[in-house]
A and B are shown apart, each in its own frame.
Chain A
Amino acid sequence: MTLQTIKDKLSSVQCLNREEALYLLTQTDLLTLGQLADEQRKRRHPNGQVSFVVDRNVNYSNVCCCKCRFCAFYCDENDAKAYLLSYDEIFAKVQELVDHGGTQLLMQGGVHPSLTIEWFEELFQQLSQCFPRVQIHSLSPAEIIQIAQLSKLSVKECLTRLQAAGLKSIPGGGAEVLVDEVRQHISPNKIGWRQWADVMEQAHDLGMNTTATLMFGCGETPEQLVEHMFRVREMQQNSHNKAGGFTAFISWSFQPNNTELGGTTATGCDYLRVVALSRLVLDNIDNIQASWVTQGDKMAQVALRFGANDLGGTMLEENVVAATGVAFRMTQQQLIELARAVGFTPVRRTTGYQVLETY
């Protein structure tokens, strides 16, 4: 294995294999890896645009059956902090999003022990009626599976009904690391990687777009991290003839504060390596997001030169990362300036990556 063979493959648009990816992750110096990713990003996004969406995370409930060891957000149903937002509360939050020019609603909760599909159907129908310009980009695969089970539906039936009610796309949360050995360690009560993939594949079949995430730095090996990326890559390849697919890949590092898992957090170099590698491995996914919410604005700028081309959402509200005490906040104007300061053209986009406004 030499770096030259990898470079040759990349310049002749061939995809990398697992061994080459592992070599890049563990044996290649940071600047070389970054430069390769930067070149790939330029090839795919030659116009120098960096996109973002105006959105809000609404966490409808913090009650969760999974109790993942990396999570600082969840609680028990009878905990004093437990909550379930009412429709009125959710509507008020979405109204506020609309007032800010928002176009995406990212609703996620815990994996709630009793909410069945009717609660979501009714909510999505009402939201779609009141706020037709807001795309409902909600519910991670773990929640979909829970709703299906509680409602005695197949995943396909569940997705079909939610889609009919107004669910347009699915965020890629809950992927963490898509290797069951890792999941056993960090989230033993959560769905396995195959179930995660199954929900995404069925959503793609139904013409829905989704994203894929990676939470790294939680004790996984470099091989497992590479495996995660290839599993996502292969799913995307299989969705080739489908109406939907992954629009973006988003990695962030495990934030240990207030979690059972604890430990240290990934370093700046770790983060840039993962972002850069994801750009190189995932040659069939257009957009790689930089996570300013976990890394801060300065690292997000650097990530834009290490393969990323998107800043995700403005996140008018964010609660899950904030529960770990890491609370970077950005306004739309700050995101625009962040991208501009490093020579990119900031654009506001839809959930489906259509440009709405260029700055």
Chain B
Amino acid sequence: MSDIIARVRAKIDNNERISDAEALQLFESDDLFGIGQLASSVNQRKNGDRVLFNVNRHINYTNVCVNQCRFCAFSKEPGESGGYTYNLSQILEKAAEANAAGATELHMVGGLHPELPFEFYLRMMATIKANNPHMKIKAFTAVEIDYFAKISQLPVEEVISELKRLGLDSTPGGGAEILCAQVRNQICPEKISGERWLEVTEKIHTGGLKSNATMLFGHVESYADRVDHMAKLRALQDKTGGFQSFIPLAFQPDNTRIPNAKGPGGIDSLKTLAISRIYLDNFQHIKAYWIMLGLKIAQVALCFGVNDLDGTVVEEKIGHDAGADSPQQLEKQEIIRQIRNAGKIPVERDTLYQHIRVYDDIAND
């Protein structure tokens, strides 16, 4: 066993959190199995053998975006061909389909649309909720919330409370990318700063909503940038406790504008998920988003400390526009099979991580 693995092992056994320097050393170590075993034991202690999944549908309501992030293959400039914006009845139709398919969650994010007023989003929220009262709505990244505040000239707090009042149940963790300014300047110069992302997220949490946190990795960032990113999240989580899961997103290079970026390899992805499990001691859940990792790597990640496999997604656009070769959707039965095959017990959860059903008996499927 290498030194760093032994040191981290001792800390885990004493319930101490690991330092930024130690996280960095784990990234620099090639002891894949040592790292995997550490992450696996941390996860075992937190979550046992259970692996969560949810049945959801993504609705990317528009791809028109005033930002032109270099890593994004989804966005279209205003007026550019290929741009689309769903109207309310299209959104409702998709929500109804999702409801009929047994989804318990709508995951809604979109571009920063140049013309839609804040009232559109409020109406969208209210109508979806009225039509689907049992469906949880997880929508709008901190970037969108900040943008709504700008276009409505309302304080962020009020944007959040209005959306919440009309039906927003939680927010996804997108737009975090890599929080440090130097990386953001290269990959998403128009987007809100890392500080602002953290500030808005804090307001989301203090406004009474849970969120997730993502990290887009495998482009231009260094290991130190990843650790810095996770350090900021861990500090905010200490303050608010509002994060549910951490979701490392494997960068997909096709059709993007980051020269020479290839996206993370399979081992880098597994290590990153595992190290996040070890480092983020105040996050309950680490999620493998198979759309971007690939289903096989995402399943293997369940042995590297991951306890949440997302999801039975229907019609995903953002990752696929960037060349993700995963299928568009997974049947619930297939998710269950994948989890069991990794030696874990599948548990269907809702948006707020309440357990809906434990699939602990194959005979009762």
- B296 lies within 8 A of chain A by Cβ: yes
Beta-carbon contact of A299 and B267 below 8 Å: no
The proximity string for A residues 286-317 relative to B, scoring 1 for CB distances below 8 Å and 0 otherwise, is 00000000011111111001000000000000
Chain B residues whose CB sits within 8 angstroms of the CB of A113 once the complex forms: none
Chain A residues whose CB sits within 8 angstroms of the CB of B325 once the complex forms: 296, 328
The proximity string for B residues 128-160 relative to A, scoring 1 for CB distances below 8 Å and 0 otherwise, is 000000000000000000000000000000000
- A105 lies within 8 A of chain B by Cβ: no
B254 to chain A, nearest CB (A): 13
The proximity string for B residues 294-313 relative to A, scoring 1 for CB distances below 8 Å and 0 otherwise, is 11111110111000000000
B127 to chain A, nearest CB (A): 39
Beta-carbon contact of A268 and B296 below 8 Å: yes
- B32 lies within 8 A of chain A by Cβ: yes
Q: Which residue of A lies closest to B34 (CB)?
A: A35
Q: Which of B30, B262, B267, B342 contacts A269 (CB 8 A)?
A: B342
By size class, the interface of chain B is: 20 to 34
Beta-carbon contact of B303 and A341 below 8 Å: no
Interface residue stretch chosen among B13-21, B52-60, B202-210, B333-341: B333-341
Q: Which of A29, A267, A298, A299 contacts B341 (CB 8 A)?
A: A267
Chain A residues whose CB sits within 8 angstroms of the CB of B266 once the complex forms: 297-302, 342
- Given the known inter-chain contacts A269-B341, A296-B294, A305-B267, please indicate yes or no for A34 contacting B33, CB distance below 8 A: yes
- A30 lies within 8 A of chain B by Cβ: yes
Q: For the complex, what is the distance from the CA of A178 to the CA of B342, rounded to whole Å?
A: 26
- A283 lies within 8 A of chain B by Cβ: no
- A270 lies within 8 A of chain B by Cβ: yes
- Given the known inter-chain contacts A267-B341, A268-B300, please indicate yes or no for A301 contacting B267, CB distance below 8 A: yes
Beta-carbon contact of A30 and B300 below 8 Å: yes
Beta-carbon contact of B341 and A338 below 8 Å: no
By size class, the interface of chain A is: 20 to 34
- A262 lies within 8 A of chain B by Cβ: no
The total of Cβ contacts below 8 Å across the A-B interface reads 81
Q: Which residue of A lies closest to B264 (CB)?
A: A298
- B36 lies within 8 A of chain A by Cβ: yes
Beta-carbon contact of B337 and A38 below 8 Å: no
- Given the known inter-chain contacts A31-B303, A337-B262, please indicate yes or no for A299 contacting B337, CB distance below 8 A: no
Chain B residues whose CB sits within 8 angstroms of the CB of A299 once the complex forms: 266, 294, 296-297, 300
- Given the known inter-chain contacts A267-B341, A268-B297, please indicate yes or no for A29 contacting B265, CB distance below 8 A: no
Chain A residues whose CB sits within 8 angstroms of the CB of B337 once the complex forms: 264, 267
- B269 lies within 8 A of chain A by Cβ: yes
Q: Which of A267, A296, A328 contacts B299 (CB 8 A)?
A: A267
**Which positions 140-171 of chain A face chain B at CB distance < 8 Å?**
none
- B102 lies within 8 A of chain A by Cβ: no
- B256 lies within 8 A of chain A by Cβ: no
Q: For the complex, what is the distance from the CA of A341 to the CA of B266, rounded to whole Å?
A: 10
Chain A residues whose CB sits within 8 angstroms of the CB of B114 once the complex forms: none
B322 to chain A, nearest CB (A): 15
Q: Which residue of B lies closest to A339 (CB)?
A: B265
Q: Which residue of A lies closest to B263 (CB)?
A: A298
Chain A residues whose CB sits within 8 angstroms of the CB of B341 once the complex forms: 267, 269-270
- B40 lies within 8 A of chain A by Cβ: yes
Q: Which of B266, B269, B293, B303 lies at the interface centre, i.e. has the most chain A CB atoms within 10 A of its CB?
A: B266
Chain A residues whose CB sits within 8 angstroms of the CB of B40 once the complex forms: 31
Q: Which of B30, B270, B295 contacts A302 (CB 8 A)?
A: B270
Q: Which of A30, A270, A298, A305 contacts B297 (CB 8 A)?
A: A298
The proximity string for B residues 310-342 relative to A, scoring 1 for CB distances below 8 Å and 0 otherwise, is 000000000000000100000000100110011
Q: Which residue of B lies closest to A328 (CB)?
A: B325
Q: Which of A35, A38, A300 lies at the interface centre, i.e. has the most chain B CB atoms within 10 A of its CB?
A: A35
A5 to chain B, nearest CB (A): 20
- B83 lies within 8 A of chain A by Cβ: no
- B117 lies within 8 A of chain A by Cβ: no
Q: Which residue of A lies closest to B326 (CB)?
A: A296
Beta-carbon contact of B342 and A264 below 8 Å: no
Beta-carbon contact of A272 and B267 below 8 Å: no
Chain A residues whose CB sits within 8 angstroms of the CB of B334 once the complex forms: 264
- B37 lies within 8 A of chain A by Cβ: yes
Q: For the complex, what is the distance from the CA of A99 to the CA of B40, rounded to whole Å?
A: 48
A132 to chain B, nearest CB (A): 37
**Which positions 4-56 of chain B face chain A at CB distance < 8 Å?**
30, 32-33, 36-37, 40
Beta-carbon contact of B294 and A298 below 8 Å: yes
Q: Which of A30, A31, A295, A298 lies at the interface centre, i.e. has the most chain B CB atoms within 10 A of its CB?
A: A298
Q: Which residue of B lies closest to A301 (CB)?
A: B266
B325 to chain A, nearest CB (A): 7
Q: Which of A29, A268, A302 contacts B267 (CB 8 A)?
A: A302
Q: Which of B262, B265, B343 lies at the interface centre, i.e. has the most chain A CB atoms within 10 A of its CB?
A: B265
Chain B residues whose CB sits within 8 angstroms of the CB of A272 once the complex forms: 300
Beta-carbon contact of B342 and A298 below 8 Å: no
Beta-carbon contact of B265 and A31 below 8 Å: no
Q: For the complex, what is the distance from the CA of A342 to the CA of B299, rounded to whole Å?
A: 20
Beta-carbon contact of B299 and A268 below 8 Å: yes
Chain B residues whose CB sits within 8 angstroms of the CB of A74 once the complex forms: none
Q: Which of B296, B298, B304, B338 lies at the interface centre, i.e. has the most chain A CB atoms within 10 A of its CB?
A: B296
- A352 lies within 8 A of chain B by Cβ: no
Q: Which residue of A lies closest to B333 (CB)?
A: A264
Beta-carbon contact of B296 and A271 below 8 Å: yes
Chain B residues whose CB sits within 8 angstroms of the CB of A341 once the complex forms: 262, 265, 268
- A101 lies within 8 A of chain B by Cβ: no
**Which positions 217-250 of chain B face chain A at CB distance < 8 Å?**
none
B323 to chain A, nearest CB (A): 12
6 pairs from A and B in contact (CB 8 Å cutoff) = A30-B303, A34-B33, A267-B341, A298-B266, A341-B262, A342-B265
Other than the given A30-B300, A298-B294, A302-B266, 8 more pairs (CB < 8 A) read: A267-B342, A296-B296, A297-B265, A298-B296, A299-B296, A299-B297, A301-B266, A342-B265
The 7 residue pairs across chains A and B that have the minimum distance between CB atoms: A268-B296, A298-B266, A35-B33, A301-B266, A302-B266, A268-B300, A30-B303
